[in-house]
Structure 1
Amino acid sequence: MSDRRLLFYNDSRHYYLYCYDPPIGLADVRAPVDELLGTRVDTLVYGSGPGATVFHNTRVGEIWGERFDGFDTMYAYRAAENIRSLIERGLDPLDVLIDRAHEKEMEFFASLRMANPGPPDADSVFNSKFNLDHPEWCLRTRSSSNFNYVHPEVRAERFALAEEYVSRYDVDGLELDWAFEPVFFEEGEVEENTPLMTGFVRQIRQAVD
């Protein structure tokens, strides 16, 4: 598709996997695409997960809820069980959406959130084992507890997810979501580390190309 008229972002959570009682049916799995049919939207931008964990059958990251035997909120339970039920049926939630988008002649962009929204020491469904095991890789002098991109391990973890999107899935594009909690270096260290971030984005671009 040469000219995109309108891109629509779906965060995969609040009006999707949080809403359906498990096990989710295929018609509901396809809803993020089907609800756009008949509109001028021709590109779905899909954020598969809140940041630290993801909502698809990743091989390089952590699936939402996979560390937990139970949940204290309905939304966490619904999302985790819906993802699990699809994977147990041999379906990757991301593949289902991509196939549906292409069936309806719609482009599909994966969106990767570059921040971690949860405190690094909280055993929350929003956190991954990666940052629970390494709180020292998160910001300490800012109001945010995001990943600190000065650490090569942090960049490698995000790169692996970005590379997986473009190598394992038939996506038409990749969005890097820097807008959510846009703090990535310690106070006073942004300017000196800007080239580091530029090189990191260049590395992802090369993987996409």
Structure 2
Amino acid sequence: MTDRYPNQPIIFTDDAWIMSEDPPITPEIIWEKMIRPFEGMPASLWWAVGDHEVYHHETEIGEIIGDGYDLSELSDFERRKALNFRHLTETTSGPLTVISSLCREAGIEFLPRFRMNSHYAYYAPPYTDNVRPGFGRYRQENPHLLIGRPGENIPEDTIDWDIRTGKDYAYPEVRDYAYSMITEMFERFDVDGVEMDFNRHPGVFRREEAHQNRYLMTDLVRRVRKRLDEVGAERGRHLKLAVRVAPTLANAARMGLDVPKWMTDGLVDTVIAGVGWIPFEMPIAEFVEEARGTGCAVYGCLEGLRPLVDESALRAASYRYWEAGADGIYLYNYFTLPPTWIRRTIPELADPARLKTMSKRYEADHADRIQYGGHGGAFRNAVPAAQMPITLIETSTGRGPVVNIDVADDVEAARAEGKLGRCTLGVSIEHFAPDDKVDVLLNGDLLAWGTGRESYMPGGRKWPTLEGEVGLHYDIDSPPLRKGVNKIEIRRRPAADDVGNQPVVTNVEITITYQDA
């Protein structure tokens, strides 16, 4: 059996923002605002059906947003979703039916997305004593099926605290519930498969049991695969199973996800690597290598947060994935951007040959973008440490920290062909004393201090917000700049009257441009 549509180079995800638009929404509004921008684009459209066991599609199994509540009990966000769901089910067959039908008419591959867990802090104020409706009844009625045990004393501001209200898939009741919800979406609706999203939010077992419980999650994935094949055989076409997992194979395994086995046993058609937060350091090549010869496609996830809202950084991260052998790019949380952005940017990101000579900005990834609280601990559980920020402390040997930036562009070849334009290295530092200096080396070559010390961040992207915040920028060439990992060493030379000031490197980036680009 074959797929209805071939794999597209871009998977564009949508967290169902259309359902929270001012009611009432209609099929015409859905078409114009949500579907039409993708018509003729090299992209698939995948749509989230709910969160926290509360859904906004026509399920016969799960809890539907607003059911059993007076509208006055709902937040504005929840009220709009509830009203739109009710209007669509009263005037049409329902939102999932409408959206899948519109995508089919437009020739767009469409998959519903099932969040395997959610760790949003719905107990936070003002809901400390009165859990809000969006939390859902499932967890309220089944506290014995959650990761945190009833009455268990868990320290706050820890990973275990932040994932305590999530479902624990060690329990067969939880796996059976997920199986029923997932299979209903392709049994009842004319879709092209289904995604099991393990990154919204990471953490499906107790941490101390997760690695040992890999076989339990594999059993669930195998059950879903079997049912997909049965339904696909009835319809005469292949139905796709996609999974989104942690940014490294080791982290996925530690969390109970045996991704290599899913690939080699033919259980999954598509693996999406990462949450999108460490796009310049995520080892996507290990996923590509693991998938080799299995027929499983590998996509790299990018999320619409800084730095990836800047198109030069987005191009760099995408090109890095393409050059590592990925089959495509998975765009998460870009659904808020306008149709003009979609129609301009998707064709660029989908075409590595086009990206090859477009300007790009590569950066060192940040560890300080993940905080504890709410679902922050869940992401800390899945995302490995990154390089930024770095506190510059004087060393006894005079050496400094080395920052690695992986550049996918073949800058040596571009230089030889006369196509390489201006390239720069930027270093952003906070708490930098007026007389402080640093030595910056690129792949062992010392860069001249006099090439640039500015009072703003490289590229003019951000004006200083802290006293002593500076941006250093250096014009660089190839060599020493090269394709692959570039090593930037930053050696602090403190002022003579230094009284213990500790500068902090907050960003390191390499910008590459091309002639006539």
TM-score, L = length of structure 2: 0.38
| One-letter code aligned to 1:162 | I
**In the alignment, is the contact (CA less than 8 A) between 1:52 and 1:117 conserved in 2?**
no
1:134 aligns to 2:142 (yes or no): yes
What CA distance in whole angstroms lies between the structure 2 residues aligned with 1:90 and 1:2?
29
What CA distance in whole angstroms lies between the structure 2 residues aligned with 1:135 and 1:170?
34
What CA distance in whole angstroms lies between the structure 1 residues aligned with 2:52 and 2:111?
16
**In the alignment, is the contact (CA less than 8 A) between 1:109 and 1:172 conserved in 2?**
yes
Higher relative contact order (CA closer than 8 Å, sequence separation 6+): 1
**Deviation sequence 1:130-186 (CA, Å, 0-9, x none):** 221011111116221210001111111111011101100001011001011211111
| One-letter code aligned to 1:66 | D
Unpaired runs of at least 5, structure 2 = 124-129, 149-153, 155-159, 230-517
What CA distance in whole angstroms lies between the structure 2 residues aligned with 1:118 and 1:135?
16
What CA distance in whole angstroms lies between the structure 2 residues aligned with 1:93 and 1:175?
18
Kindly tell me the number of residue pairs found equivalent between the two proteins: 205
Q: Which residue of 1 aligns with 2:24?
A: 23
Residues 18-57 of structure 1 mapped to structure 2, 5 A cutoff: 18=20, 20-30=21-31, 31-41=33-43, 43-57=44-58
Query: Alpha-carbon deviation of 1:124?
Result: 2.3
Query: Alpha-carbon deviation of 1:32?
Result: 2.1
Residues 1-209 of structure 1 mapped to structure 2, 5 A cutoff: 1-13=5-17, 16-18=18-20, 20-30=21-31, 31-41=33-43, 43-70=44-71, 71-118=73-120, 123-140=131-148, 142=160, 143-144=162-163, 145-209=165-229
**Deviation sequence 1:74-97 (CA, Å, 0-9, x none):** 211101110011112242100100
**Deviation sequence 1:42-74 (CA, Å, 0-9, x none):** x11111112411111101111112131124422
Structure 2 residue matching 1:98: 3-state secondary structure: helix
**In the alignment, is the contact (CA less than 8 A) between 2:45 and 2:111 conserved in 1?**
yes
**Deviation sequence 1:85-141 (CA, Å, 0-9, x none):** 111224210010011001001111111111033568763232222221011111116
Structure 2 residue matching 1:181: 3-state secondary structure: coil
**In the alignment, is the contact (CA less than 8 A) between 1:50 and 1:117 conserved in 2?**
no
* CA shift in 2, pair 1:38/1:2, >3 Å: closer
Which structure's residues are more often helix, by fraction? 1
Ranges of 4+ aligned residues in structure 1 off by more than 6 Å: none
What CA distance in whole angstroms lies between the structure 1 residues aligned with 2:107 and 2:55?
25
Higher-Rg structure is: 2
What CA distance in whole angstroms lies between the structure 1 residues aligned with 2:67 and 2:213?
34
Which structure's residues are more often strand, by fraction? 2
Unpaired runs of at least 5, structure 1 = none
